[in-house]
Amino acid sequence: MHPPIQPFTVAQGLAAGVTPYELRAGPYGKPYVGLRSVPNPTFFDRCAALLLIMRPDECLSHHTAAVLWGVPLPTAKCNDGTPIHITTVRTGRERRIAGVVGHRTIDPAVSIVSRYGYPTVDPITMWLSLAGSLTHHELVAAADYLVQVPEFCEMREPRPFVNLDRLRHRLEIYRGPGKRRAALAFVDVRVGSDSPMETLLRLKIQTAGLPAPRLNQVIFDQAGQRLGRVDLVYPEWRVIVEYDGDQHRTDLRQYEHDIDREEGFRAEAWSYLRVRARHLRGDFAPTAQRIERALRAGGWLGTSVRRSLR
């Protein structure tokens, strides 16, 4: 007998004619006690299996909900082997089962929504629940993602998932764990960041004492022709700063496009600076000084950056 595509309970398997021996030793994954699935179940397979036993007052939450919402998380916190988080909302007891982290909340602001067919905690509650486990940068990047409106949105996926006013209001009335860390992160949240590395670059620039750049704005030439949308920009001083990810190096077509694009900016008297991942590790001062020199060449008169920014 071939394993079914959909997960099933042991009771359902027995009712369908699967023998007890097959349930114990057959070609099925055993994600949780009393549940069977495809062999080597993935994160989504495990979530689907749990739907068979979850109550109406339960939903996927914390890091599990973050994955479903598409939040950029460190790989170690959202791989196929990490526990699934389930929160009981207001009524019942928290879920207790091996491989699941159970939570319970009585917060009246928490709501359960459907995400790809999975009962999931609302995005603001999800973000607040991450405050105790993410770094400041990671928490800011997660919120940047939630409030962002991408240049190209899918019709079936309206963005943003939440706006800054709703996030601010919820934070004001929130009384749960991690409030202080969430409040500190909220101060640095901005609409306009397209990736966690862009967020990190922006935060390091601000920590260096440089002025805050504008995010993901479109640059036009003197004739009104579009030159491109850039990560970070200082229009007053005609300085562009962009994070240069691996895709810009490994994809030949992207690489050639980037060269033409950069030449277009320089032809219009823009200073253009690329920042790689290695520039964001360790001492950021040399990169901050590069940006400072470009800003001063454009007329900025601010205070010099520190010599060391580790």
pLDDT at residue 3 tops 80: no
Percent of the chain past pLDDT 90, that is, above it, reads 81
H helix runs in the chain, sequence order: 10-15, 20-25, 43-51, 62-69, 123-129, 136-147, 164-173, 179-187, 196-207, 247-250, 252-267, 277-280, 285-297
Helix and strand tally (H, E) in the chain? 13, 11
Q: Which helix (H) or strand (E) holds 273?
A: strand 271-275
- The maximal CA–CA distance of the chain, rounded, in angstroms, is 79
Least confident of 4-18, 152-166, 238-252: 238-252
Say whether pLDDT at 125 is over 90. Answer: yes
**Residue 93: both structure tokens together:** 């007891």
Domain boundaries, the chain: 8-48, 55-187, 196-297
Q: Are 63 and 83 in contact (CB under 8 A)?
A: no
| Averaged pLDDT for residues 233-242 | 98
> How high is the mean pLDDT of the chain?
91
The model's pLDDT over 270-286, given as tens digits with 9 standing for 90+, comes to 999 999 999 999 899 99
pLDDT at position 309: 67
The stretch 70-79 carries a mean pLDDT of 79
How much is the pLDDT for 256?
86
pLDDT of residue 102 exceeding 80, the answer is yes
pLDDT at position 156 is: 77
Map residue 15 onto helix, strand or coil.
helix
CATH, domain 196-297, list 3.40.960.10, 3.40.50.10420, 3.40.50.300, 3.30.230.70: 3.40.960.10
Sequence letter at residue 96: R
| DSSP of 154-204 | -TTS-S-SS-HHHHHHHHHH--STTHHHHHHHHHT--TT--SHHHHHHHHH
Rg (CA), the chain: 24
State yes or no: pLDDT of 81 exceeds 80: no
What pLDDT, on the 0 to 100 scale, is given for residue 154? 72
Tens digit of pLDDT for each residue in 161-204? 999 999 999 999 999 999 999 999 999 999 999 999 999 999 99
- The confidence score (pLDDT) of residue 1 equals 36
The three-class DSSP label of residue 36 is strand
Per-residue pLDDT, 17: 93
Burial 8-21, CB ≥16 within 10 A → b, else e? bebeebeeeebeee
**pLDDT tens digits along 17-58:** 999 999 999 889 999 999 999 999 999 999 999 999 999 999
Confidence of residue 139 (pLDDT cuts 50, 70, 90): very high
* Cβ-proximal residues to 107 (8 Å cutoff; 6+ apart), any chain: 125, 174, 175, 176
Nearest to 96 by CA among 135, 63, 131, 53: 53
Return the amino acid letter for 23. Answer: L
| pLDDT level of residue 120 (50, 70, 90 thresholds) | very high
Residue 4 has pLDDT above 60, yes or no: no
Whether the pTM exceeds 0.75: the reply is yes
The type of residue at 219 is: I
pLDDT band at 62; cut points 50, 70, 90: very high
